[in-house]
Structure 1
């Protein structure tokens, strides 16, 4: 699909901003969360960094499979939420956690059978080509990873992404050793003077070269036109946003993703990256909702850097088709490279007139899912449950007292 015109983009953005008829019904729920606390941290052997980025991930536990599973016990959750941390010098630690104040939720009803449908039709993605929009909130929260995935800013120095973007389930990817985060920013304006780092006299040398081209044999006015064309190309390049890359200081991955022989590791396909330098971009908060399908049209939004549109920010929205306790199943069009994007929704803050976007899931990518014994393909998001929220908040603040409610 071609780049989105500005007027159309404004209309599309309004789709995620329009208030429902009964706006008091659609508010962010405030709930008390369990506390994740570190119990023991031990050093591990250094990783080999020998893996390669994955394409299609292994099959997920199907929707009926998810519905039939008993809810995990507190002891099971403590094992799943324990985590590894790998640092920029390749040292690695494992931290065992405890979980306090876990609320027991009623089991979900099994999903109803539904007819087969065409998953991929007309490409519904939108390229955000306007530089003011691509570098403004909420699109500015989307980042690019050097391993080829996407991610989303959740603090001045943290990025939430998919675990498979840095770890293949057995070991860390080769690119994770020198992992970098690219934030899309506007290029600095240089004006007519010397650019930053430009040597004294460089501008004069370039001007002299242009004069020689203009006065060459048989060039005359054509030389001047060539100079104007070159300046025009440089002006266009200067107007395009560019990535500002920052090294990653440490990466944290839940034990639920690591070496899971059951094939249900998709439920924990998320990771948190800490950058060496904080940024000044506005970030997006995390959120927890009981059911996305209870929202207006069950619609979710996310942006990423899809591989088939190099260097371009791609936005999409769609309705969630089905959900389980840990996963969102939908048919938002995407390509490799969008994995790790933050899936967000927009609800009203309780007691206020203000509406706010929050991240409710991490885009894992394409998965084959068993539905009534038939394999169907979905684009799957890993939902942020109260327990996962508590864990990610613990990673962000290292202080469980700041993570008692959402």
Structure 2
């Protein structure tokens, strides 16, 4: 995970609006610049510091690596048109960081060749420079709270005690694949079992809470004993249970929250969910890699939301990201389409839809089977029949049509 400094004096507004970085491959004379070719070194989940008018005005998270792309029309035309484009998720500053607020010692200590700073602490001319980890960590620690908050799932805003209580009795895996299980939660400690300590050892809940606060502030946490305590492996495993959490490889690795919305290469940055490789990844059980992003696209940071079937509002922990069309029969493109999923509550609606007792007709209203007897099932179906489905749109229509034709029992 690297940290980059980009100078955007004339291009910030345009690149912000498009959610991109763009640099030419060469100038009008055919000369290639090192601060342009650095675009090829940027990787997904790297951090970018955006500098314009002598201020750091935004942070961003890289969501797609560089692709060949023609110069966007809004950018200045005194460059060659052939260039490279990177997709990023911007977080604008609520209070920009002026260059002079960054201690001069930080800048002069990190004025290595190819970096953004001169020996006198000024800023080099050029586009994209890598900064070393020490400078990046210092900057984020001092100024990170000046930038728009990371959009986190509601579960990440819960306190550490409640997070651990939700994990009671569950087997969770560390980044290296070792098994942990939360046996009890009695503040100020939780007792956690491992393969080596099946009876469990005490973990300070305060250490988990500290890591959660870092996640809320920066959108990622280094799973490093020097930064979050000697039980960092377990803490990383607990954070990985949050929706949209993923591991960022490195030494040390990090746990990060994937940015909301759909991202992809070139002009499709905001139009498709971005994944590298197969959608299924083998672990102790196959994980649905796109599920967290679908859930995030439906919920964002909401703490509660409506069930698309019954229309009742529930805390998000009681809502399931339900596939409208059976996931195992969806193409990869369909699995990445946010319209393929809806929120269904655990109080009957998800099960009734999954088993085909209810479906959605061509008019967007819920249809039900005729139950063979009276009773609770009949009452529930009667209550739902004729309701408008909250997720029925032009984008989801074909998926509901599939369900009606293939799963509905009526």
- Please classify the TM superposition score into its range, dividing by the shorter chain length: under 0.3
Bigger relative contact order, structure 1 or 2, given CA contacts below 8 A and separation 6+? Answer: 1
The structure whose residues are more often helix, as a share, is 2
Q: TM-score, normalised by structure 1?
A: 0.22
Q: TM-score, normalised by structure 2?
A: 0.22
